[in-house]
Amino acid sequence: MKVLACGWVQMFCTAVVVCTVIGFALQILGVPSQQRRIFPVYQDGFRFPTWSAGEQEMPSVAKTCQPKKHIMFLKTHKTASSTILNILHRFGDRHNLTFALPKSYQFSYPNLFHSRSVKGFSPARMQNYNIICHHMRFNLHEVNKVMPKDSFFFSILRNPITMAESSFMYYKDVAPAFKHVQSFEVFINNPLMYYNPSENSNHYARNLLFFDFGFNHNAQFNTTYASRAVAAVERTFQLILLMEYFDESLILLKEALCWELDDVVTFKLNFRSQDNVQALSPQAVEKLKEWNALDWYLYTHFNRTFWQKVEQLGWENMREEVFQLQKRQKELMEECLQGNRPVEANSIRDDNIRPFQFGIAKILGWVLKPDLNLLAKERCIRMVTPELQYKDLLNAKQFPPTNSSMTSGFGTKSLMNQTALLPRKDQGKSDGERQTRSSQVNQDSKEKSNKAVR
């Protein structure tokens, strides 16, 4: 019996050793356990990751890179680009960087970008700009005149199906193709009945992404032309984000720019109520793919390259990073926001943070808690300030208004209420030195109205 017992013990010990060796071998070979496997799910050719909240936080890793501070962001329309803009505004504002600002609210859009549309720019003297990020129709040659050679170029895309519906709701009173149509489905059923390519502002009605990137959005689709356009974008832009995967996009952006997590944590801005979203039939979806074929080609290509970049970062790293991003966003929402829910603009009393209303869609915003201390209030205000108001703040910071300009024009009182929170780039200079750099912050009524078409 003793011999038999010893035999069983020896066999058990051998089994334990073998299992241990196999386990170590699997770890060395990089085979993850079943519980930690994270793979995308394929659907209609696109990947939909299923992130789950991790049990443990990622250990902090010291960065060996330097934060990028020369940035070109192509702000596309109806793609959550206003939220990206707030991230760039805050980062540049906090680090006292210089923005290449438009003279009004856009760089002469929908015309192709030209360096003369940058406020204060002169080819006769050297100027150091850190960030350019407001609406333009992309023109690389002219952008290169303004931005440093080592600038990081990025942009954001959106599924052209939902983007087209959003464009219809927002620009219905601007685009002639939309004005006399009862519904978006009516337009899609026979777009050529309403669409005239020669009419101003009709670029909002067809291949809007292609247009914003500076290409011919009315070109007849063919793979040769579309692939050449995509290749041009790939040569110029180091990163293309996707609105549908916004959190993953922010992580890729953070890594590419070598920024910190708090630099990219944000609240959604310039977004509409779900009550205004129109559901589309399967037939309408297929017709939209055909009508916006150039945009569809662009989007499907960069949908693939997006997930290649996620794979390079690592699925496990991405899962943990997204979890930390969402956790930090929740913390800031609880700190800053009253009710933690967006509200309609008419419920926001503060003009400084009330979103601009345009089109038939209801654009939502945020209400801050009333009892914030000074430091928290300053941080929270920055996070909820819409693009138009923040552009005015940056304009006042870089081009301090003269005494005469402070006595007239729109929004002067509310502008100065917020600029008191922000340090000026020329703080400490004499009044005479400031006046040599200054120009009027307030735009005339015509320029102010141009903010609507953005």
Question: What are the domain boundaries of the chain?
Answer: 71-424+434-452
> How many angstroms separate the CA atoms of 22 and 346, rounded?
64
Q: Give me the residue label for tokens 């006595």.
A: 407
71-74 and 131-132 beta bridge pairing? parallel
- Reference 296, options 210, 389, 374; nearest CA is 210
3-state secondary structure the chain: CHHHHHHHHHHHHHHHHHHHHHHHHHHHCCCCCHHHCCCCEEECCEEECCCCCCCCCCCCCCCCCCCCCCEEEECCCCCCHHHHHHHHHHHHHHCCCCECCECCCCCCCCCECCHHHECCCCCCCCCCCCEECCCCECCHHHHHHHCCCCCEEEEEECCHHHHHHHHHHHHCCCCHHHHCCCCHHHHHHCHHHCCCCCCCCHHHHCCHHHHHCCCCCCCCCCHHHHHHHHHHHHHHCCEEEEHHHHHHHHHHHHHHHCCCHHHHCCCCCCEECHHHCCCCCHHHHHHHHHHCHHHHHHHHHHHHHHHHHHHHHCHHHHHHHHHHHHHHHHHHHHHHECCCCCEEHHHCCCHHHCCCCCCCCCEEECCECCCCCHHHHHHHHHHHCCHHHHHHHHHHHHCCCCCCHHHCCCCHHHHHHHHCCCCCCCCCCCHHHHHHHCCCCCCCHHHHHHHHCC
Which amino acid makes up residue 303? N
Strand partners, 42: 47
Sheet bearing 343-344, strands edge to edge: 271-272, 363-365, 343-344
Give me the tens of pLDDT residue by residue for the chain, a chain 454 residues long: 444 444 554 555 555 455 554 444 444 333 343 333 333 433 333 343 444 444 344 445 567 899 999 999 999 999 999 999 999 999 999 999 999 999 998 999 999 999 999 999 998 887 899 999 999 999 999 999 999 999 999 999 999 999 999 999 889 999 999 998 989 999 999 999 999 999 999 999 999 999 999 999 999 999 999 999 999 999 999 999 999 999 999 999 999 999 999 999 998 875 555 556 677 889 999 999 999 999 999 999 999 999 999 999 999 999 999 999 999 999 998 998 887 777 776 666 777 777 766 666 677 776 778 888 898 888 988 988 988 889 999 999 999 987 655 543 333 333 334 433 443 333 333 333 333 333 333 333 344 444 444 3
Work out the end-to-end distance of the chain between its first and last CA atoms, rounded to an integer number of angstroms: 88
- Reference 381, options 367, 392, 364; nearest CA is 367
pTM score, whole prediction: 0.77
> How many angstroms separate the CA atoms of 129 and 151, rounded?
10
Judge contact between 230 and 34, C-beta under 8 A: no
With the CA atoms of 216, 217, 220 and 226 taken in that order, what torsion angle do they form, in degrees rounded to the nearest 10?
A: 80
Q: Residue 232's pLDDT is what?
A: 98
